[in-house]
A and B are shown apart, each in its own frame.
Chain A
Amino acid sequence: MELLAAAIVWPLLILLVGLVFLALGNASLFFIFPAFVLFVIVLASFRDKDYKTDYASQLEHLRRVIVIFSIAILLPLFMRYVMDISGSVLPIMIGGLFLGFALVIWGIFVQDHKVLTFANVLGGAFIIIYLYGQLWSLGQLPRIIAAAFGLLMAVVVSVIKLKDKIS
């Protein structure tokens, strides 16, 4: 199994990155530019001295960066396609906001897994930002509901995560 994983991991990652950029062809510039900046910033961490001499570590780090980038970009694209097939109805948007916040919370609270932390926090944030942009077209009341919901989630997560620092 290890041999199989070692053989197929890089072609699989290349295929996944190719699919990400393929799907981005239909997405707005809103996702492309910040995603690219994010990718460059994360890749720049190669300048860390721990990766300069150890080739295996560099490959491992590159693999992690690719997975983080792919998940963070594919999540809002997935939500976009769901919105397209559902006709951008409000219940789907609310469900998408739940998903986005759930991913962010999962990313914040997961232990010993930096890849999932970064991927979920970034992907969830992209979903939330995209859906808030879509809510703008629905009118005043959905915007108020969405803003109140977001504020409530942020306060709840902050209280749970920072409970020790607050008390």
Chain B
Amino acid sequence: MKNNFIRIVLGSIIFLFSTALAYFTANYIDASHGPNYWLALAAFGGVYVLVGIVTAMVFPISLGFLFSADVVILHVLFDQYSKIDEMYKVLLVAFILFVLYVFAWLKLGDHPLVRMQTSAPAQPQSPSS
């Protein structure tokens, strides 16, 4: 329980600082090197996704960066979505559907092994006399 609490706290700290770093850096780049705010944010989102995948063995670091990437990417899309060409929207939605279908097909089937893993733990057998 204590370990999980520490993981959550550390992950939250990483999430907050990585998100702040992305926005502060994007603001600096936009102010000093021309209007590249959204491009910088998108770049940070991509980098954070890569870092999150590479550090998958350390859950707090990985999830902190990945959730931060979620915030950044969704913010970029929210602001820029209406400016995206319709063809790219089709490709984006098609790609997302493809990922969802692959994920559902591989990971969310009703296999007996999955049911056994998610069901209540088996009763301990009594030792034979």
**Residues of A with Cβ closer than 8 Å to B?**
3-12, 14-16, 18-19, 22-23, 25-26, 53-54, 56-57, 60, 63-64, 67, 70-71, 74-75, 77-78, 81-82, 84-85, 112-116, 119
Contact = CB atoms under 8 A, between A and B. Distances in A.
A5 B107 contact: yes
Contacts of B99: 12, 16
Given A81-B89, A85-B87, 9 more contacts: A8-B53, A9-B103, A11-B66, A12-B66, A54-B119, A71-B100, A74-B96, A81-B86, A116-B104
B69 interface: yes
27 contacts: A4-B56, A6-B56, A7-B52, A7-B56, A11-B70, A15-B69, A15-B73, A15-B74, A16-B96, A18-B77, A19-B74, A19-B96, A22-B74, A22-B77, A23-B81, A25-B81, A26-B82, A53-B120, A70-B100, A75-B97, A85-B87, A112-B109, A112-B110, A115-B104, A115-B108, A116-B101, A116-B105
Secondary structure type dominating chain B contacts: helix
Contacts, number: 113
Interface of B: 52-53, 56-57, 59, 62-63, 66-67, 69-70, 73-74, 77-78, 81-82, 86-87, 89-90, 92-94, 96-97, 99-101, 103-105, 107-111, 117-120
B110 A15 contact: no
Contacts of A78: 90, 93-94, 97
B74 A8 contact: no
4 tightest A-B contacts by CB? A11-B66, A7-B56, A115-B108, A112-B110
A18 B74 CA distance: 7
Contact of B62 (A7, A15, A67, A74): A7
Nearest to B67: A11
A64 B108 contact: yes
